[in-house]
Structure 1
Amino acid sequence: LQAFSFKLRGAYNMMSKLPKEQLEKGVICVSAGNHAQGVAIAAKTLGCDAVIVMPVTTPQIKWESVKRLGATVVLEGDSYAEAQVYAKKRGESENQTFIPGFDHPDIIAGQGTVGMEITRQMHDPIHAIFVPVGGGGLIAGIAAFVKRISPEVRIIGVEPTDANTMALSLHHGQRVVLDQVGGFADGVAIEQVGLETFRLCRELIDGVVLVGRDAICASIKDVFEKKRSILEPSGALALAGAEAYCKFYNLKDINVVAITSGANMNFDRLRLVTELANVGRQRKAVLATFVPEEPGSFKRFAELVGKTNITKFNCRYEPEKKQSLVLYSVGLHTKFEIQEMVERMESHKLKTMEVTNNDMLKDHLGHLMGGRTNVENELLCRFVFPERPGALMKFLHALSPRWNISLLHYHAQGGMGANVLVGIQVSSNDLDKFRYHANNLGYEYEVEIDNEVFQLLMR
């Protein structure tokens, strides 16, 4: 049996220490992925029953894989928090032991065996160990062991920029609860770190590096190209952080370790990883240039592009402004080359801007180019829909027919929830009412009306 993540270590360590009579009554846990598999495999090995509670939004591929391991799967609640409340109540009523995902000394100790293996196998000095951080169990366990054996080794956590609960907690000196958590690296998408894990991390770790999803995707691609292994986003997180750290401090000829903590990748997510990986390694940049509609102007634009490798090209005429907007992707490049191209275009009075890092462009606007219009009172929002039957109807019941939907673009993200761009006609007098209904919907969302790339491409 294989779990393809470190979570089995902590689950087995805690469960193997339970008294026989308690183990026979079974265990229960809540998880949307790797911890569930760890508990299921530990239960099968130890010969006890396991109930795994998962949010109803959990992709079928995940709960089916847990079911195949012999555990009883219960889908309950729209979120991890709701599923956890149910799991703890059921555990108490049926006298089953609750196996937490990270916040327990035995779980932390089990994950710490990773640190033990590193120190045993690495005979040369280690400058730093980079560890992905969700609830904090893995980094707390590694830090507790390594700092006792080799206190000079730096233990550095790595978090996504949109799931940075440990970094914020360390900064404020107390545990912080995130209002919204980015779901791309779903294995570390935690609202709050554990009480015990935070206590240990506050005392033992040396800092936290934050990385974006482009950098994570680039690390997934690097590992695949070099090792032919496919990591899940949270499994590639530490590698992206190690590279960013070494690049920032210009570190060379030292030994660093990055924990590739999980390989439970959903195959349908690979498309998104592929799209973002080249941006993360600066192998692709996206530029927008305005070309006046006059004889020879487009030829002048092409001459200014020169021998630069263009990998994607979109052009849309704006009759009212008597100009065309050209949106194009540039292949392998350096920052200097991109800056030089922008300056070259500007010097010939072709207004140009780099829009590579605009997330709405990556997810939506690159597919919608050409839909230019001015809609009265249009409020632009990005929603994350849970990928389950009825998610769209729940959205429509909450907002329609109160307001007219003027735009809708759906972009699935491979089991992480659907990224949906929505235009809604809301008058200024109705904004508070709209926010009330949108907040009660329970879907993560952002208002994007001021997004500069939307103004360029769609208005």
Structure 2
Amino acid sequence: MQKVTLKDIQDAKKTISEIVKKTDILESRKLSDITKANIFYKCENLQKTGSFKVRGACNKIANLTDEEKFHGVIASSAGNHAQGVALGATMNGIDATIVMPSTAPLAKVTATKRYGAKVILEGLVYDDAYAKAVEIQKETGATFLHPFDDKYVIAGQGTIGLEIFEQMDYKVDTILCPIGGGGLISGVAVAAKALNPNVKIIGVQTANIPSMYESIKSGKVTTAFKSTSVADGISVKTVGELTFEIVKDLVDEVILVEEDEIAEGLLFLMENQKVVAEGSGAVTTAALLSGKYKPRSNENIVCIISGGNIDVNTLNKIIGIGLIKSGRLYSFNTNIQDRPGGLAELSKIISGFDGNIIKANLSSIGDIGSLNADMTIETFNHEHIAKIKKAIIDAGFKIKEK
């Protein structure tokens, strides 16, 4: 099995320096106050194509032979590798075909086509698209560009690790990194551990698709899938052989976060950091907000925001989930009297506690004299909800939560 070294990553940095951006590192004062640590963000959502993936894709394409380029390239991707490959291929005059899962956000599909690639949709997750891409590769003889289990791809992603240390003046204690197939964290871990063997590398994966977590737990590459995830960029059922070996040796811990925690992380980034991230880019924030990773006081932590390619409709749904998770929205059903002023009594209680009614639908329930009130209110937090709920119940209403 090929080994990825610090020199490989340093070479990759030279190769792609004219193509990719050196993305900013931003301090998060709000999250630092919450955790009592020093939290920083590496903003790969501001990278060309909106994701770190362009680094590995362009480094891989730059290292193809003339014969491999001649046959064109094919790749499978949840969306971000697709855009990196499409851009890199177009810049080099190479034909590119990308197979993406049918669940890939429309924004990623559209962008990949815009960068000049032919797109084929197949299956629900990355692994389904991968199987189709392998099938097409055998038929056409195109050069397959793996999104994570490849030495040059890993080296390209590892340039993020070099940048983090340079930008932080080597004052880095911990790096929190999203995990899908493992290409990003493998490259970052190789670079970071070579520069400082004591730095902690913490991987964060969605609990819906805990493939790397289960692989580390079992000591071998293990397929894992429970359900689809809002973090489509890390929705990989089976990690790479090469990435697994690197993660097993160099990554200190893999943490799992839930879907509503990811949504809360995404909402936090928008409101407090003024950063739009996709689900996979928000998992590192989710790990801190949920307490899944508990930092030491004054620990210098860099969270990688891996991408920002999120469909607007998906964003709207995730924001709603995040608002509920953080206690900013509360929905319930109750019965009110079918008479003038019946709704006003309930509204008075809610407004008396500074709750803001944003939806109130009334419908007949078949009982003469009663109506069902379907309510959604804006609240400050879970404590605020508890006070409003208690006041409503104390007034004689029965609440059925949704």
Structure 1 Cα separation of the partners of residues 366 and 74 of structure 2? 63
Change (3 A) 1:333 1:57: closer
- SS of 1:28's equivalent in the other structure is strand
Could you give the per-residue CA deviations for residues 110-142 of structure 1, whole angstroms, max 9, x where no partner exists? 211111111111126333211111111111211
Determine if the alignment matches structure 1 residue 117 to structure 2 residue 163.
yes
Partner of 2:247: 201
Could you give the per-residue CA deviations for residues 170-217 of structure 1, whole angstroms, max 9, x where no partner exists? 334333323443142211122222222222222322223333444434
Determine if the alignment matches structure 1 residue 278 to structure 2 residue 323.
yes
- SS of 1:311's equivalent in the other structure is strand
Alpha-carbon distance, 1:298 to partner: 5.9
Change (3 A) 1:317 1:81: same
User: Does the 8 Å CA contact 1:127/1:255 hold for their aligned counterparts?
Assistant: yes
Partner of 1:429: none
- SS of 2:49's equivalent in the other structure is coil
Structure 1 Cα separation of the partners of residues 172 and 54 of structure 2? 26
- Give identity over the alignment, percent: 31
Alpha-carbon distance, 1:331 to partner: 2.5
Partner of 2:7: none
User: Does the 8 Å CA contact 2:208/2:225 hold for their aligned counterparts?
Assistant: no
Structure 1 Cα separation of the partners of residues 342 and 131 of structure 2? 64
Taking the TM superposition and a 5 Å limit, the aligned residue runs for 1:327-346 are 327-346=374-393
Could you give the per-residue CA deviations for residues 347-385 of structure 1, whole angstroms, max 9, x where no partner exists? 4543335x4xxxxxxxxxxxxxxxxxxxxxxxxxxxxxx
Taking only aligned residues, the RMSD between alpha carbons, in angstroms, comes to 3.2
AA at the equivalent of 2:237: E
Structure 2 Cα separation of the partners of residues 138 and 166 of structure 1? 13
Structure 1 Cα separation of the partners of residues 151 and 174 of structure 2? 24
- SS of 2:148's equivalent in the other structure is coil
Taking the TM superposition and a 5 Å limit, the aligned residue runs for 1:209-288 are 209-226=255-272, 228-245=274-291, 249=294, 252-288=297-333
Determine if the alignment matches structure 1 residue 87 to structure 2 residue 133.
yes
User: Does the 8 Å CA contact 1:242/1:256 hold for their aligned counterparts?
Assistant: no
Alpha-carbon distance, 1:101 to partner: 1.1
The structure whose RCO (Cα within 8 Å, separation 6+) is larger is: 2
- SS of 1:18's equivalent in the other structure is coil
- SS of 2:255's equivalent in the other structure is strand
Structure 2 Cα separation of the partners of residues 346 and 337 of structure 1? 14
Determine if the alignment matches structure 1 residue 44 to structure 2 residue 44.
no
Change (3 A) 1:59 1:251: closer
AA at the equivalent of 1:261: S
Determine if the alignment matches structure 1 residue 178 to structure 2 residue 178.
no
AA at the equivalent of 2:144: F
Taking the TM superposition and a 5 Å limit, the aligned residue runs for 1:59-98 are 61-71=107-117, 73-75=118-120, 77-79=122-124, 80-98=126-144
Structure 1 Cα separation of the partners of residues 104 and 289 of structure 2? 31
Change (3 A) 1:115 1:303: same
Determine if the alignment matches structure 1 residue 30 to structure 2 residue 76.
yes
User: Does the 8 Å CA contact 2:99/2:122 hold for their aligned counterparts?
Assistant: no
Instruction: Give the length in aligned residue pairs.
Output: 353
Query: What TM-score do you get using the length of structure 2 for normalisation?
Result: 0.75
Partner of 1:20: 66
Could you give the per-residue CA deviations for residues 200-238 of structure 1, whole angstroms, max 9, x where no partner exists? 222322223333444434443443445554222222222
Alpha-carbon distance, 1:58 to partner: 5.2
- SS of 1:44's equivalent in the other structure is helix
Structure 2 Cα separation of the partners of residues 208 and 289 of structure 1? 43
Structure 1 Cα separation of the partners of residues 209 and 389 of structure 2? 33
Structure 2 Cα separation of the partners of residues 217 and 40 of structure 1? 29
Change (3 A) 1:348 1:93: closer
- SS of 1:319's equivalent in the other structure is coil
- SS of 1:273's equivalent in the other structure is helix
- SS of 1:102's equivalent in the other structure is coil
Query: What TM-score do you get using the length of structure 1 for normalisation?
Result: 0.67
Structure 1 Cα separation of the partners of residues 82 and 311 of structure 2? 16
Question: Which stretches in structure 1 are left out of the alignment for 5+ residues?
Answer: 356-452, 454-459
Change (3 A) 1:58 1:152: closer
Determine if the alignment matches structure 1 residue 168 to structure 2 residue 247.
no
User: Does the 8 Å CA contact 1:130/1:242 hold for their aligned counterparts?
Assistant: no
Structure 2 Cα separation of the partners of residues 343 and 170 of structure 1? 46
AA at the equivalent of 2:291: Y
Question: Which stretches in structure 2 are left out of the alignment for 5+ residues?
Answer: 1-18, 20-47
Change (3 A) 1:97 1:331: same
Partner of residue 177 from structure 2, selected from 106, 123, 131? 131
User: Does the 8 Å CA contact 1:219/1:239 hold for their aligned counterparts?
Assistant: yes
